[in-house]
Structure 1
Amino acid sequence: MSGFDSNPFGNPVDVNPFQDPSVTEVTHSGVDHMDQYTPFPASDTGNLTGSTIPASAVPSQPAVLQPSVEPSPQATAAAAQANLLRQQEELERKAAELDRREQELQNRDRTTGKENNWPPLPRSFPIKPCFYQDFSEEIPPEHQRICKMMYYLWMLYCVTLFLNVLACLAFFTADAGYGVDFGLSILWFILFTPCSFLCWFRPVYKAFRTDSSINFFFFFFIFFAQVVVTVIQSVGIPKWGNSGWISAISVVRSNLAVSVVMMVVAAFFTVCATMSIVLLKMVHSHYRRTGASFEKAQQEFSQGVLTNRTFQSAAASAAASAAQGAAQRN
């Protein structure tokens, strides 16, 4: 119980912290420890020693300008020929790639059952359809009506040409001196029926299908000539193979029945000419709304020519021949 008799609130015993033996030993030793401190130990000084190489010991050489060597004409021609051959190989590689893609698209069309369906010929017929034509699938909805009207115009024109052959035959039976009209009417039917389909209907079909400016320009050029021809056919100049108004009126007194038949054909030609003018204006209005332009047509033409394999081969052959000729002259 003696541990509890001391007063915890009494004066504490004075304790001097500097009376610690470890402190007194250092303070009373008489040695200056600052003098003994060395920031660079002796063990590390050996690693810092090294020899300095004076700048004069390094051998110096004067700068020498090498004279430029002009390549010989043979070397220049050989380099140009090698460059042309490399470009030719690149063009051939691109052409092969385009052919491969085109073949893949054709194979894809075959696998999906997208076969040519125009003209609609029997399967047993030896001649197969040449084109694929589907207005609802290939033509945008806003252009389907005008495109179908162009197709109906072509059909009406073909029917009119056939009736023209019959009318000219009747004219030939009434007057043997007009056999030239009958012969020319057969020629116009054979010539204009396929040419009108290929030269102005297919271009306008492809123009509406792909929004192609160059096809629009081709259509306008050919179809304007078609309008002029149809107007001339409706007029009916004698000896031109057309059963028009002049030819029909000229035979009224001699044979009224033949004249009536020829007037019906002249009316068909007039309807074709009128519809051609109206549809030409309608196509032009659609063309203006599609954003097509002459600059776009030029760009499409240049791209089509540059990607044409025949043109690429001809250009590469001409360039190689020119390079070989230059090399031989040098």
Structure 2
Amino acid sequence: MSKYTTFPDSADDHNPFQDPSVTQHSSNTGYATLDLYNPFDNNIPAAPPPYEATSPAAPPALTPPTKTTPTEPRNYGSNGTQSAVNATTADLLKKQEELERKAKELERRERELDAHALGSGASRQNNWPPLPSFCPVKPCFYQDINVEISQNFQRTVKTMYYYWMFTACTLFFNLISCLTLFCAQATNTSAPVGFGFAILWFLLFTPCSFLCWYRPVYKAFRSDSSFNFFAFFFVFFAQLVLYVIMAIGIPGWGFSGWILSLAALRENNKAVGAIMMISSVLLTAQASMGVILLKRVHSMYRKTDASFEKAQAEFATGVLSNQAVRQAATNATVSAAQGAFTAPR
């Protein structure tokens, strides 16, 4: 144990500053040490070059994989989802249109109920023809397509109303064309006669067409009246035949149709011929549109419950419920009975 507890001899004490590596470093002036550094000395040994980190070698370039076009498109479920969304949107739009249609129908029925709110003793105020208040002639009919006509037939009734206005304008233009022919051919005997008939047709057909076929078709769609349907078909077909004759343009009949128009052009009356050609085109369009509308009303008539038997029943009921007819029948019966009793035996 004594050799472990005894202190070493001073001669054996090792000096760390006498280490060869330290003495070698201190004697070497190639390094800028703190002892050798003098900021005011111009002969400063060159400092070692700064440390530059060596850049690592660049990795080898990777070639991108070539894109291959698949033969079939990949389906990640988006097509099925989009189809479901489109189907849902279509159903919602369809339901929205149905709700809007029902809302319009309810609004129409509400206006109709408001019109009848005053009771049976208060009748609706006539509003057609729309005349100014200062006019001594008052409106003769009550007409409101949005109130009285079902929504399924409103478009057809409006089209028939516009067609009636078109026929009135066509007859007026026919009057103008006959007037120009009369002014250009005053010596011709057929021109004055045709002008007089043109005035008659305009004054006669304009109100009669409204009363004889537009009002029946209006009332037919308003109350699903079979009698008014048959009245419309009969009168409108007869008027279509007359429209075809108008388009032909027989001289002296008051119709500036194709015959008179071509004759005016052959006589070098270009201005009169041009006006009459326009009238001929309008008359032809009038007849063509009438045929289309007749077929349209007939197709809608077949979808209703109207029939010839119902028309007969409505006619009989209307005749019997007419106060004038009943009074005339009563007077005739009383007169016959009195004559039978007072006759000599």
**Aligned residue among 306, 310, 321 for 1:292:** 306
Structure 2 unaligned segments of length 5 or more: list them.
1-117
Structure 1 unaligned segments of length 5 or more: list them.
1-103
Structure 2 letter corresponding to 1:196: S
**Distance between the aligned counterparts of 1:186 and 1:106, measured in 2?**
43
Q: Higher RCO, 1 or 2 (CA under 8 Å, sep at least 6)?
A: 1
> Do structure 1's residue 224 and structure 2's residue 234 form an aligned pair?
no
**What's the RMSD between the two structures over aligned residues?**
1.5
**Aligned residue among 204, 209, 232 for 1:191:** 204
Give the SS at the match of 1:108. Answer: coil
Q: What residue number does 1:182 align with?
A: 195
Q: What residue number does 2:85 align with?
A: none
**Distance between the aligned counterparts of 1:326 and 1:127, measured in 2?**
48
Closer, same or farther in 2 for the Cα pair 1:302/1:294, shift >3 Å? same
Q: What residue number does 2:253 align with?
A: 240
Q: Select the structure that is richer in helix.
A: 1
Deviation at 1:307, TM superposition (A): 1.3
Structure 2 letter corresponding to 1:228: V
Deviation at 1:319, TM superposition (A): 2.3
**Distance between the aligned counterparts of 1:170 and 1:279, measured in 2?**
32
> Do structure 1's residue 318 and structure 2's residue 332 form an aligned pair?
yes
Closer, same or farther in 2 for the Cα pair 1:170/1:326, shift >3 Å? closer
Structure 1 letter corresponding to 2:174: N
Q: TM-score, normalised by structure 1?
A: 0.65
**Distance between the aligned counterparts of 1:181 and 1:299, measured in 2?**
44
Deviation at 1:170, TM superposition (A): 0.9
Q: What residue number does 1:151 align with?
A: 161
Q: What residue number does 2:144 align with?
A: 134
Structure 1 letter corresponding to 2:263: S
Q: TM-score, normalised by structure 2?
A: 0.62
Task: Spell out, residue by residue over 1:9-46, the C-alpha distance to the aligned partner (whole angstroms, 9 max, x if none).
Answer: xxxxxxxxxxxxxxxxxxxxxxxxxxxxxxxxxxxxxx
**Aligned residue among 280, 283, 289 for 1:266:** 280
Percent identity, please. 56
Deviation at 1:311, TM superposition (A): 1.9
Deviation at 1:291, TM superposition (A): 1.3
Q: What residue number does 2:19 align with?
A: none
> Do structure 1's residue 117 and structure 2's residue 127 form an aligned pair?
yes
Closer, same or farther in 2 for the Cα pair 1:124/1:272, shift >3 Å? same
Deviation at 1:287, TM superposition (A): 1.0
Q: What residue number does 2:6 align with?
A: none
Task: Spell out, residue by residue over 1:173-197, the C-alpha distance to the aligned partner (whole angstroms, 9 max, x if none).
Answer: 2111111111111111111111111
**Distance between the aligned counterparts of 1:207 and 1:146, measured in 2?**
12
Give the SS at the match of 1:133. Answer: coil
Structure 2 letter corresponding to 1:168: C
Deviation at 1:164, TM superposition (A): 0.7
Q: What residue number does 2:214 align with?
A: 201
Structure 1 letter corresponding to 2:320: L
Q: What residue number does 2:262 align with?
A: 249
- 1:38-187 alignment runs, 5 A limit: 107-109=121-123, 114-176=124-186, 177=188, 178-187=191-200
Give the SS at the match of 1:226. Answer: helix
Task: Spell out, residue by residue over 1:103-146, the C-alpha distance to the aligned partner (whole angstroms, 9 max, x if none).
Answer: x966423xxxx311111111111111111111100011111111
Task: Spell out, residue by residue over 1:45-98, the C-alpha distance to the aligned partner (whole angstroms, 9 max, x if none).
Answer: xxxxxxxxxxxxxxxxxxxxxxxxxxxxxxxxxxxxxxxxxxxxxxxxxxxxxx
